[in-house]
Structure formats: C-alpha cells, structure tokens
C-alpha cells in the first residue's frame, strides 16, 4: 500500500518538478548571460565587428557600379565573346560624361587600374576628350577613336568583372591568381605573383621563431617549475621583464646591439674573433633573434604551467621502477608537457604570423612579412580590398591551424592519476 502511495506521489509531482528545474536553470542562465553581456557587447564592437568588416571589404566591389551604373547594366547580358554592342558604348559615354560632371571618374579609375594596368589613363583620357555626348549610333566609333583600348575585349571584360557588387578579385589576387579575358582562373603574371612566396616566407619565419622559442624556453620553464619557490619567483620576474618595456624599445635595443658598429660586433672585433663586422641585422637572422626575444615569454608561461602540474612523484616513481633519468624524462616527463608545448607553440606561431613592427625595423626587404604588406596597402596605397583579402587568407590559415591543434590535443586528453 505504501508502495502505491509513493509511486502515485511521484507521478503527480514529476511534471512540476521538471518544470521547476527548467525554471531554475533558466534564471541561472540569464544571470550568467547578464554577467558576460558587457564583455560580449564590447567584443562585438571592437573585435567581431571590425573582423566582419574586413572580411566584407575583401569581397566588396561597388566603386565601378556607382560611377558607371548604365555601363554595368548594359554589360549584364553581354556574352563576352565579342565586343559589346553600340548600346553599351552609348551607356559608357553617358556614364563618363555624368561622372566627369560629378568628379567621380578617379574612383572607378583606381579600381579598374588594379585589374588592368593603364586603365586609369584610358578612362581619364576618354573623359577629357569626350566633350559632349556622341551622336546616337556613333558612340562605338567615337570612343574607339578617342582610345583604341575601347576596341579591345579585355577592356570591357575588366569593367564587367569589376561591376560587383561582390568579387573574388582580391582574394584571387592574394593567392596569385587572376581571371583571364575568358573568365577562367589562371596564375597571375610572374611580376605580380608575390603573395604566395610572401605567405611561405611568413610561415617559415614564424616556424623558425616558434622552434627557437621552444628550444630556449623549455629548459627555462623546467627550471622555473622545479626550483624552490623563492628562487623561481625571482627567475619568473626576469622572464616577465620584457612585458614591462614597450615592444618598440626592445626592438630598438636589438638594433643597438646588432648593427655593424653595435655592441656585439664591437666586442667580437675587440676579442679578435672577427676582422670585418658581421651582418647581424636587417636580415633574416636579426628578425628571428628579435622576434624570439619578444615572444619567448609566451612559450615559457604555458610550458611552466603544464610542468608545474607534474608531480615530482612521477619522476621518482619512474626511477624506482628502473628508468635512468633520461629515459624517465623522455617517457614520463615529456609526454605530460605536450599540452604545454602545443599551447605555447600555437600561441607563439600565431602571434609571429601577424608580426609587423619587429620585422619592419630589424628586417631587410626580403624579410618583410605579410602584415607589412597589409599595412602598406591600408595606409599607403589605400587598396583596402587587397589588404583585407590578405588578412582574410591569413585568418583562415590561422583558424585551420587552431582547429588542427584542437583535434590533436583532444585525442590525447590526460586527466591525471593523482586523485588527491
């Protein structure tokens, strides 16, 4: 009888209980959301927003459309096999006359010039020479006379390909690709194909710096994790010291040290080791040295935290089980630092990928990394489309790397055997 009572009681309270649970959970979720909301809004405006904007600019293509609206409309149903018909020429003429009046020719000229060198001249000369609208039916002839380029198919495909509103032009350019006259994607001409080698260079420099940081940082992190607290705190201050001075100051210090009349060369010369000053700066060596110095703490700290979590009992256990010190290190200690090695390497590598100031100051022309060109296109030539496309490719590569890393560490998650 009591059984029946109990089950009956359960059945009648079950539904409200579930609902109450859900309600309780909801309030907790709302509270949690309220706590992170300010940060979320901040990130949205300062991080997600700009990145989305940048990604958008990499495919945004509306300049030509704005300046030459009738031409763009007339070319919409052009098959591209032959020169466009009279209607398109008339539209172009009318657009040019209108654009000249409103002074917007340069906007379209700049964009078209990215795709076809010399387009700026074509457009401005045409605008200058086209005093009035040509007679109806004579637009093709008139424009052809003003500039022979209007009698070439490539000129027109360039306008059509740039008619937006979105384009793959910049992204293709960032990968050393272009569309040819027939719209097929082909390799860019050798004199313009610089970005792939630039990406390769960026990756090689970043990899070298990561490897250097790992080689130099591992022993230091080990020392930090095993020294008694007093001395390890002191050492930690030295590790963190670079964070207290500005990046610029540190980089300039390397110039002072490494230049041909610098401290290092002078000392070596004084010691009689060298006769001629060594070339230590404004080359790959200088870039790697300065970047390794700047990024070393980002390797040491994750390594240190993973090593700190390894109980000394493990090494003792290994020794008592008969493992000589090096074997114990290789088979017991090193595997447990792998998450730290991964995190540190990823951090350093990704930071290095985006490095700008240091290579710009201590590197030669052949050591400039991708961000140098991004900065160049943003500030000097105002080619935001290409700058954004380079940024987008870099971002994509970084995200891929992070995902691969995530997969790798997920596969060998360690929970630790120490229960207490």
Partner 1 sequence: MEAGMVTPAPALVRFSGIQKTYDGEHLVVKNLDLDIRKGEFITLLGPSGSGKTTTLMMLAGFEVPTHGEIYLSGRPIKNMPPHKRDIGMVFQNYALFPHLTIAENIAFPLSVRKTNKADVEERVGSALRMIKMETLAHRRPGQLSGGQQQRVALARALVFNPQLVLMDEPLGALDKRLREQMQLEIKQLHETMGITVVYVTHDQSEALTMSDRIAVFNDGIVQQIDKPDALYEHPVNSFVAHFIGENNVLAGTVETVDKDYCRVALAAGGTVTARAINISGAGASTSLSVRPERITIIPDGSSSDGPNRLPAKVQNTIYLGDHALAVLDVSGNAEFMVKLQPGAHDSLTHGANVFVTFRPEDCLALDPV
- Give the interface with partner 1 as residue ranges (CB under 8 A): 311, 313-314, 316-325, 327-328, 331-332, 335-336, 412, 414-420
Q: Closer to partner 1 by CB, 189 or 324: give it.
A: 324
Q: What is the DSSP letter of 189?
A: P
Long-range own/partner contacts, residues 158-162 (CB < 8 A, 24 or more apart) = 158/112, 158/115, 158/116, 158/119, 159/64, 159/68, 159/71, 159/72, 159/75, 159/92, 159/112, 160/72, 160/75, 160/78, 160/80, 161/115, 162/61, 162/63, 162/64, 162/111, 162/112, 162/115
Min separation Cβ 415 and partner 1, Å: 3
Min separation Cβ 303 and partner 1, Å: 16
Q: Closer to partner 1 by CB, 267 or 327: give it.
A: 327
Q: Closer to partner 1 by CB, 73 or 315: give it.
A: 315
CB 306 within 8 A of CB 336: yes
Q: Closer to partner 1 by CB, 252 or 332: give it.
A: 332
Min separation Cβ 224 and partner 1, Å: 21
Min separation Cβ 309 and partner 1, Å: 10
Between CA 127 and CA 68 the distance in angstroms is 12
Q: Closer to partner 1 by CB, 246 or 327: give it.
A: 327
Min separation Cβ 227 and partner 1, Å: 17
Q: Which residues of 35-61 are buried (b: 16+ CB within 10 A; e: fewer)?
A: eeeeeeeeeeeeeeeeeeebbebbbbb
- Residue written as token pair 């060298």: 274
Min separation Cβ 338 and partner 1, Å: 8
Between CA 255 and CA 263 the distance in angstroms is 10
Q: Closer to partner 1 by CB, 20 or 316: give it.
A: 316
């Amino acid at each position: 009888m009591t059984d029946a009572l109990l089950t009956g009681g359960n059945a009648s309270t079950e539904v409200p209980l579930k609902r109450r649970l859900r309600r309780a959970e909801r309030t907790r979720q709302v509270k949690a959301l309220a706590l992170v909301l300010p940060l979320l809004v901040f990130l949205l405006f300062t991080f997600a927003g700009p990145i989305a904007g940048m990604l958008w600019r990499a495919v945004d293509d509306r300049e030509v459309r704005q300046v030459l609206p009738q031409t763009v409309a007339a070319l919409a149903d052009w098959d591209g096999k032959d020169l466009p018909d009279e209607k398109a020429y008339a539209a172009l003429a009318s657009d040019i006359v209108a654009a000249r009046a409103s002074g917007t020719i340069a906007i379209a000229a700049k964009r078209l010039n990215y795709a076809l060198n010399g387009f700026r001249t074509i457009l401005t000369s045409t605008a200058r020479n086209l005093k009035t609208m040509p007679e109806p039916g004579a637009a093709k002839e008139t424009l052809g006379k003003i500039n022979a380029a209007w009698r070439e198919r490539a000129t027109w495909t360039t306008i059509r390909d740039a008619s937006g509103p979105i384009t793959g032009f910049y992204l293709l350019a960032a990968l050393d690709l272009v569309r040819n006259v027939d719209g097929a994607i082909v390799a860019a001409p050798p004199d313009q194909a610089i970005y792939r080698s630039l990406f390769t260079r960026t990756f090689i420099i970043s990899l070298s710096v990561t490897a250097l940081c790992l080689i130099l940082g591992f022993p230091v992190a080990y020392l930090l994790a095993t020294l008694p607290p007093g001395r390890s705190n002191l050492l930690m201050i030295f590790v963190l010291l670079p964070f207290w001075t500005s990046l610029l100051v540190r980089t300039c210090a390397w110039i002072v040290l490494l230049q041909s009349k610098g401290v290092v060369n002078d000392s070596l010369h004084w010691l009689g080791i060298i006769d001629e000053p060594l070339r230590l700066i404004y080359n790959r060596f200088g870039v790697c040295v300065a970047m390794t110095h700047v990024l070393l703490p980002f390797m040491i700290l994750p390594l240190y935290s993973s090593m700190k979590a390894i109980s000394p009992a493990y090494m003792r256990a290994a020794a008592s089980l008969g493992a000589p010190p090096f074997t114990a290190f290789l088979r017991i200690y090193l595997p447990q630092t792998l998450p730290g090695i991964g995190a540190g390497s990823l951090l350093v590598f990704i930071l290095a990928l985006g490095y700008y100031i240091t290579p710009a100051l201590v590197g030669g022309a052949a050591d400039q990394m991708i961000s140098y060109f991004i900065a160049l296109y943003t500030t000097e030539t105002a080619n935001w489309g290409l700058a954004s496309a380079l940024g987008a490719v870099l971002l994509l590569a970084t995200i891929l790397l992070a995902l691969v890393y995530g997969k790798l560490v997920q596969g060998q998650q360690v929970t630790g055997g120490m229960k207490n």
